[in-house]
Amino acid sequence: MARKIILLLALIFFATANVEAAPPDNGMPFDPLATTATETDSGALTLVVMKDTNELCFIVADNKARALGMVPYTSRIYDFYLRKDSSGGYSPFIFMMVLPMETRGQIDDDLGEWQENFHLLPVYALFDVKSGGQVVCEKPFYSARGLNPSHYQGTIRNPNHERLIEIFLTHMPRLHRLIRDQHISLP
């Protein structure tokens, strides 16, 4: 699984930003379903399906920083900004981001866990949703050591990680609209 994710992310990284225009047999181990990529925005959120397993995952890219992240798809993650808690607000959003092609010795190295060249980063993000469905991030974002922390007391300080998290959160409503407009059915 780890090698598939590395290959997938490397191919996305070096592919053009407009994955919607990719031919049906694009030579990649996935098919893009929808993307928020535009000519004017350096960040994009793409939902892809793996060809061999039919698994869905989100690819987050920041072309300016040449940074990538992957978040496995679940309906809970996909709909994070649509669910309010019992007091009418939004609960912290907790998810796992896989960061390939990272080298140790950088900021946030002590957060999450390393598996080969993958940096697995649990994320704890506070956010709000404004009128029109716009997700607004409340920085800083938090993490902790290990993969299943009981407390998220470490601050995510790497600007690339912060930017990927911000893209993931803020682009999700637009990805929802694209998926709805393309009549894509998701589990």
pLDDT tens per residue across span 112-138: 999 988 999 999 999 999 988 899 999
| pLDDT at residue 116, rounded to an integer | 86
104 pLDDT band (50/70/90 cuts)? Answer: confident
| pLDDT at residue 13, rounded to an integer | 46
Tell the burial category of 64 from Cβ atoms under 10 Å away from its Cβ (0-12, 13-18, 19+): exposed
| pLDDT at residue 138, rounded to an integer | 95
Tokens of 183: 């009549």
Q: Residue 185 above 50 pLDDT? A: yes
Strands (E), 9-167: 30-35, 43-50, 56-62, 67-72, 93-99, 113-115, 118-129, 135-143, 154-155
* C-beta atoms surrounding 44 within 10 Å: 22
| pLDDT at residue 162, rounded to an integer | 97
Please state, for a pLDDT cut of 70, what percent of the chain lies above it. 86
| pLDDT at residue 146, rounded to an integer | 95
> What confidence tens digit (pLDDT) does each residue in 9-56 have?
444 444 433 444 444 556 677 889 999 998 888 899 999 998 889 999
* C-beta atoms surrounding 80 within 10 Å: 22
Q: Residue 98 above 90 pLDDT? A: yes
